[in-house]
Chain A
Amino acid sequence: MELDYLATVLLSSLSSASILLIATLGLAVVYGLMGVINLAHGEFLMVGAYSALTATQLGIPYPLAIPVAVIMTMMIGAIVELLIIRRLYGRLFDTMLATWGLGMVFNQCAVLLFGTVSPGIGMPQYSLKIGAYSLAVYPLAMIAVAGLMLAFVYLLMTKTVYGMKARASIQEPEMAQAIGIDSSRVNTLTFSIGCGLAGFAGAILLPIIPATPSMGLFFAVKGFLTVVVAGPVALTGTAVTALGLGGGSSVTASFMTSVVGDIFFFVATALMLWLYPMGISRNWRRKL
């Protein structure tokens, strides 16, 4: 096998793993810091994508459309937390079912508002030549975006007052309340940030994945699996898992068919859950 082919496969697999990580990070933050699985996460991604798309159609340049998407999804996320999630604390499966219902509602609203097909926005036409192969630059840039997102969340959680409060609330909920942290306000913000990250993902991935009402489903499903396999250590665990599962399935897909890639993903997930029934990061010393 030629080296240039191998390099191409590796780079594009790394980029798909990064795309998975970008799409999953918001889910991981909400699960890691609130213990809540947001089954409507994929639909928040979709809302972000449509917000960015609508903004560009109104004449706002694409780079500025991304913050619009983030603000939009953060606002919706905060409202959802106040109206639904807050009432279901400690009822994991009920939260899952309620957010799944929410996802269906969002999905159907998007169909009503935008129809099932919508115009994509063009991808910047730069490409990178490796030997006989050429790769589009934008998907490769997602590797850097994923890194930046990780760094952003890490700094947010370790260097800000909010981050300290959020981590305190999940690690020692009673102690956090006792020293006067209003955990429900922290949770609203956490959920809103998680949704904002989903919105950011939807917007930044718009040139690669065109906005459709059901676009969230694909990422959401793989995202849940990634987060659950990762276990309690939200950030590092998810990054490692996304790299392993997403990269692995992408490598498999490039040598065989995309269905085999998917099968690899699901079989690997099942295997990891069997070996680590509580997630791979269950016994890790680090907490983020």
Chain B
Amino acid sequence: MLDKLYYSASFVFPLIATAIALLVAGSLDPYLAFVATSWVIFGLLGLSLDIIWGRGGFLSLAQTAFYGLGGYFGAVIAINMAPQWGMTLVWALPSGAIFGALVAAALGYIIFFARMGELQSTILSYTFTLLVWAVTQSFKMDVGQAVIGGDNGLSNIPGFVIGYGPQAEALGPNGAFALVVVISAGIYFFTRWLMRSNFGRIVDCVRIDIGKSELLGFDIRKFQIINFAYSGAVAGIAGALFALWANYLNPSIFSVPEALLVPIYVLVGGLGTLAGPFLGALAIGALSFWLGGGAAGGQTTLILGAVLILLVLFLHNGVLGAIDRVWRQVIPDPNDAARNAGAVKIDTDVLELILKDAAEQAGPAKELDTVDLYKRFGGVVPVNKVSREFAPGKPYALIGPNGAGKSSFLKTCVGMYPPEGGSVLLGGEDVTRSPIFNRVRKGMGVKNQKPQVFGPLSVAENLWTAAYARTRDNVQAIAISRKVLDMLGLHEQAAVEASALSHGQQQWLDIGMVLCLAPRVILLDEPAAGMTNEETRELSLLVRTLAKYTTVVVVEHDMEFIRTLEGHVTVLHQGKLFAEGDIDTLRANDAVLDIYLGRSEHV
């Protein structure tokens, strides 16, 4: 019972809160109803930040800019339309939403396509707000009957008018409160649905591990921009509601204190919870209301500042985060299954089946060729004109002493390092300048040295995400991820959070995710690192099976492992191809021994 409620809490409690708000709306003191309306609007503004910060992982300080611009734009439309047509909501809300979304998309385009650093993105969004603030101070313009008067602001904005025609009357404070509650609840439930949809899942993945998301073949920038635009739309709607509520707007809506108040709402309620910002806005609003009227007078700012410090120091996940932590301790832990997991045993029959299916869907194995590939970092040249062809059939192993350029070569092939010269061909197609996600879509599957899994997601969800990245089809993705789960024998752990798995199991899960992509070329960077002997044997079996259907390149230190692969071995030294052959000939090769042992002749 308690655990069922836990998993539907984000639906049940907001529903109850909405019902209570609507029940008391009629009997509230009109002044309190008027003030409380603004709290709900601020909650909506907080929700817009939670969408992009809590879910998208980008602390945007431009939410008040979208909010203000949406408000201004919606208000101008409403002023011009209301006298004749009434129904201000129909004019103001969509125009505020569209304007907010467009501005956010434009800003997001700059931030995400330039692949800006985290701090730089936040500061740029802050700069944008300041810029709008500076411009609106002196921006004067008459649009039809609306007069935007710079510092003097925009007045004569009609209230919440429901009903068409010039005679329609604006709602009183209690009616307006109920209306704003209904609209906000609608947006909350829609957002909740959106964040639980496939789109929301991928937005979560981008936040958790942006690099891995791209390695699955998602064009992360598109998801970031769409999410940002959506948050801009929500902020724009909040702004339009605010304009109709206040009947007046001026540039102080873009001011610095306003911009920084929004993160407080989110932090008080709980980051990433969606419902939290409403709770935060309510708490802060009620606090200011009570303090503003009481003995403490104008100490609101002082208290808010202290609250913010204490929140960050002691209650990082806000009120809802704290409740969540307590609640989790009384319900059964889904991660229990992780503790009684045995060693992973590969089911080769299922594996062959998966690989045959993959070949059917994604076509035959592709060759990977590099031509004079060249990469330098300052004075170091880790990849020095390497030309090599990798074909399916037998696995390829890249070996060499530390610093030989093995991992750099792999990363240059994947696209993590842009090369200064030469080219990378995937199935004969030049992909040297393609972004990573494009190479993945064309059939490159990459497993990095460290296990990269989405920690808070369950094992099944991890596999689903990888399969969905390729198929873009929910049903197929479920079928594929189930097969890979069969192959890994991780059934018992399907609902376990990936972060609860052991290091070795995370490696297997990561390999499973790569298989979900049906890659035509597989690049593995030190896959055996951190595995037990038993697991290494399983891995060797897996790699040999893979090589029958695809091209496989492995970078590895473990010589025993490489011997069991029975494949081609390439020795790299100082960024260049040094020697090739099978492992036994290379072991007898004096020059290879020299570079490994550091003897002088060939170093």
Query: Residue B194 at the A interface, CB < 8 A?
Result: no
Query: Residue B490 at the A interface, CB < 8 A?
Result: no
Query: Residue A277 at the B interface, CB < 8 A?
Result: yes
Q: Which B residues lie within 8 Å of A87 (CB)?
A: 313
Q: A217 near B256 (CB under 8 angstroms)?
A: yes
Number of interface residues of A (CB under 8 A): 39
Quick one: which of B96-122 are within 8 Å of A by CB?
110, 114-120, 122
Binding site for B on A (CB under 8 A): 37, 84, 87-88, 92-94, 96-98, 100-105, 107-109, 111-112, 217, 221, 224-225, 228, 257, 259, 262-263, 266-267, 269-270, 273-274, 277-279
Pick the residue among B119, B126, B306, B316 that contacts A101 (CB under 8 A). B306
Quick one: which of B114-169 are within 8 Å of A by CB?
114-120, 122-124, 126-128, 130-131, 134-135, 137-138
Given that A87-B313, A94-B312 are contacting pairs, would A101 and B122 also be in contact in the complex, using a CB cutoff of 8 Å?
no
Pick the residue among B110, B115, B308 that contacts A97 (CB under 8 A). B308
Q: Name 17 interchain pairs, CB-CB below 8 A, sorted by A.
A: A37-B119, A84-B309, A84-B313, A94-B312, A98-B312, A101-B305, A104-B302, A104-B304, A104-B308, A217-B256, A228-B119, A259-B134, A259-B135, A262-B134, A269-B127, A270-B128, A270-B131
Report Cα–Cα, A223/B119, bound state, in Å. Answer: 14
Report Cα–Cα, A84/B308, bound state, in Å. Answer: 12
Report Cα–Cα, A96/B260, bound state, in Å. Answer: 11
Q: B301 near A107 (CB under 8 angstroms)?
A: yes
Given that A228-B123, A270-B128, A273-B116 are contacting pairs, would A102 and B313 also be in contact in the complex, using a CB cutoff of 8 Å?
no
Q: Which B residues lie within 8 Å of A267 (CB)?
A: 131
The 9 closest A-B pairs by CB, nearest first: A101-B308, A104-B305, A105-B305, A108-B302, A266-B131, A277-B116, A101-B309, A101-B305, A98-B312
A218–chain B nearest beta-carbon distance, Å: 10
Q: Which B residues lie within 8 Å of A270 (CB)?
A: 110, 124, 127-128, 131
Report Cα–Cα, A263/B137, bound state, in Å. Answer: 11
Report Cα–Cα, A126/B126, bound state, in Å. Answer: 39
Query: Residue B84 at the A interface, CB < 8 A?
Result: no
Query: Residue B515 at the A interface, CB < 8 A?
Result: no
Q: A225 near B127 (CB under 8 angstroms)?
A: yes
Query: Residue B205 at the A interface, CB < 8 A?
Result: no
Q: Which B residues lie within 8 Å of A104 (CB)?
A: 301-302, 304-305, 308
Using C-beta atoms within 8 Å of the partner chain, give the interface range for chain B. 35 or more
Pick the residue among A88, A100, A263 that contacts B131 (CB under 8 A). A263
Quick one: which of B415-470 are within 8 Å of A by CB?
none
Q: A273-B124, A274-B116 are in contact. List 20 more A-B contacts (CB 8 A).
A: A84-B313, A93-B118, A97-B263, A100-B308, A101-B309, A105-B305, A105-B306, A108-B299, A108-B305, A224-B123, A228-B120, A259-B135, A266-B127, A266-B131, A266-B134, A270-B131, A277-B116, A277-B117, A278-B116, A278-B117
Pick the residue among A100, A269, A274 that contacts B260 (CB under 8 A). A100
Report Cα–Cα, A55/B118, bound state, in Å. Answer: 42
Query: Residue B267 at the A interface, CB < 8 A?
Result: yes
Contact indicator per residue, chain B 292-321, by CB within 8 Å of chain A (1) or not (0) = 000000110110111111001100100000
Report Cα–Cα, A98/B304, bound state, in Å. Answer: 11
Report Cα–Cα, A87/B314, bound state, in Å. Answer: 10
Given that A88-B312, A102-B305 are contacting pairs, would A97 and B267 also be in contact in the complex, using a CB cutoff of 8 Å?
yes
Report Cα–Cα, A278/B114, bound state, in Å. Answer: 10
Given that A108-B299, A217-B256, A225-B123 are contacting pairs, would A277 and B308 also be in contact in the complex, using a CB cutoff of 8 Å?
no
Q: A105 near B309 (CB under 8 angstroms)?
A: yes
Report Cα–Cα, A104/B117, bound state, in Å. Answer: 27
Closest to A100 in B: B260
A94–chain B nearest beta-carbon distance, Å: 5
Report Cα–Cα, A257/B135, bound state, in Å. Answer: 12
Q: A266 near B130 (CB under 8 angstroms)?
A: yes
Report Cα–Cα, A257/B138, bound state, in Å. Answer: 11
Q: Which B residues lie within 8 Å of A98 (CB)?
A: 308-309, 312-313
Q: Which B residues lie within 8 Å of A269 (CB)?
A: 124, 127
Q: A263 near B134 (CB under 8 angstroms)?
A: yes
Q: B312 near A221 (CB under 8 angstroms)?
A: no
Q: A279 near B313 (CB under 8 angstroms)?
A: no
B574–chain A nearest beta-carbon distance, Å: 23
Query: Residue B275 at the A interface, CB < 8 A?
Result: no
Query: Residue B521 at the A interface, CB < 8 A?
Result: no
Query: Residue B59 at the A interface, CB < 8 A?
Result: yes
A274–chain B nearest beta-carbon distance, Å: 5
Q: A105 near B302 (CB under 8 angstroms)?
A: yes
Closest to A220 in B: B256
Closest to A279 in B: B120
Report Cα–Cα, A134/B316, bound state, in Å. Answer: 55
Report Cα–Cα, A107/B306, bound state, in Å. Answer: 12
Q: Which A residues lie within 8 Å of B127 (CB)?
A: 225, 266, 269-270, 273
A241–chain B nearest beta-carbon distance, Å: 13
Q: A101 near B263 (CB under 8 angstroms)?
A: no
Q: Which B residues lie within 8 Å of A102 (CB)?
A: 305, 309
